Amino acid sequence: MHPAKLVLFGYAWYIVLGWLFLSLPIAQQGPGTKAIDNLFIATSAVSTTGLTPISITDDYTWFGQLVVLILIQVGGVGYMTFGSFIILARKQALPLTQSKIGKTVFSLPGSFDLGHFIRCVIAFTILIESVGAVVLFFIFRAAGQPDAVWSAVFHSVSSFCTAGFSIYNNSLEGFSGNFWLTVTIATMSYLGAIGFIVFLDFWNMLTGRTQSITLTSKIILWTTFWMSCTGTFLLFIGEPSLWAKPLDERILTAFFQAMSAMTTVGFNTVGIGALSKSSALLLIILMVIGSSPSGTGGGLKCTTFSAFIGVMRSAIRGEQEVRFWNRPVPMERVWTAVGSVGFYLSALVIGTYLMEMTETSPFDQNFFEVASALGTVGLSMGVTPSLSNIGKLIIVLLMFCGRLGPLTFGMALFGGPNTDDGKQDNDLAV
């Protein structure tokens, strides 16, 4: 069976399991929530999206919120990571099938040592989320928030896994202008979004295992740097709702919302529905490009976008190879990138068309909602609570497709046996 099929079944199983737990009376407050809403929340959590048709604070008990948090953690780090870590901790080798699944989940080139990679993923996740929780605890306590401990833990995991779930009904709008909270959340989401490959590369350099970082890491760091700078600058100069704010708060808000879309974390410190159409389009572009392979974020992936730009550049110049820093990218990775772009844009168009058929919201709001769901971002212009049941199912499917990646989703449905070993020196994760 193709590894993509196993990944699809694995995530589907966790979504169904989460759906059942969220449907328990112990997880719900008041008269209870609809089955479709519980399915929506379970899918949103496992896919680390953050779109919610209901309030997880008002409609779920602490147990229900804990279920959501566990689903976020499982979905963000990869459902097979913990099982693989247990096997490795017992000093056993990973089965071949599980190894293939792991490389599919993390979008890893075949040349990566999966066992070493998973150990680093677990260690890095525990470190960042623990430090983040401690820092956020002091921030929330200083802001006078009740349950500062739970709020810190929840938002730490949600930030690093780029889930965007918040136990506050207006996301982080109540903390607009809070420098330390904004920077902490943005930093944690960036660390989760740039991918574990980057940190493994730097760790290998520090320990003397390698002399330089891989081509994948170079492209990730270069692309995310320019995306964050460009997004911040354009929001700063082009968003009218920010002009009345003090200069420092204006810069901070523009930076945070650009990072929120780029890393696909989906938190917001301003009302997204109040943004101008040009700013909404900018956020859609950032959401579509998305984060990095092997990270906790979603979207098309910045390496895929870079490879696609490389294809266009090579076509214009009449070159036969796609090169970055004078290093050729294997052609099978180039074709994968082109296929990913095609599948992604197709899903975006089809999803928007279906939403236009079933929902009464304006086109721009439906388009934004689809881009957010497919990119597993979680930003919304206010459409989510008013979705029809059919609309909710469409968004559920888009979030699930976005978590797997449209190309992986297509391979799971139609793909044959996997034969790529990815052994090239300049291999690229896409």
pLDDT in tens, 327-375: 888 888 888 889 889 999 999 999 999 999 999 999 999 999 999 999 9
Closest CA to 133 of 148, 116, 112, 117: 148
Q: Is residue 4 one of the residues assigned to a domain?
A: no
Which are the contacts of 106, defined by CB distance < 8 A and separation ≥ 6?
78, 117, 196, 197, 293, 294, 429
Is 223 a residue whose pLDDT tops 80? yes
How is residue 212 written in tokens?
A: 């330089």
SS3 state at 327 = strand
Q: Lowest-pLDDT range, 25-34, 101-110, 217-226, 397-406? A: 101-110
Q: Please count the structural domains in the chain.
A: 1
State the average pLDDT for the chain. Answer: 87
Domain of residue 319 covers: 304-414
Angle at 313 between CA 411 and CA 428, to 5 degrees: 45
How far apart, in Å, are the Cα atoms of 160 and each of 125, 191, 288, 365?
A: 8, 7, 19, 27
Closest CA to 241 of 214, 191, 277, 205: 277
Sort 418 into a burial class: Cβ within 10 Å, 0-12 / 13-18 / 19+.
middle
Q: Is residue 341 one of the residues assigned to a domain?
A: yes
CATH number where 361 lies: 1.10.287
Q: What pLDDT was estimated at residue 89?
A: 54
Q: Is residue 123 one of the residues assigned to a domain?
A: no
Q: Is residue 347 one of the residues assigned to a domain?
A: yes
Is 271 a residue whose pLDDT tops 50? yes
Closest CA to 228 of 191, 199, 189, 255: 255
How is residue 366 written in tokens?
A: 């439906």
Is 419 a residue whose pLDDT tops 50? no
Q: Is residue 215 one of the residues assigned to a domain?
A: no
Neighbour tally for 346: CB within 10 Å:
12
Most confidently predicted of 49-58, 97-106, 109-118, 295-304: 49-58
Q: Is residue 250 one of the residues assigned to a domain?
A: no
Cα gap 373→228, rounded to integer Å: 21
Cα gap 301→219, rounded to integer Å: 11
Q: Is residue 201 one of the residues assigned to a domain?
A: no
Cα gap 130→218, rounded to integer Å: 28
Q: Is residue 320 one of the residues assigned to a domain?
A: yes
CB distance 195 to 294 below 8 Å: yes
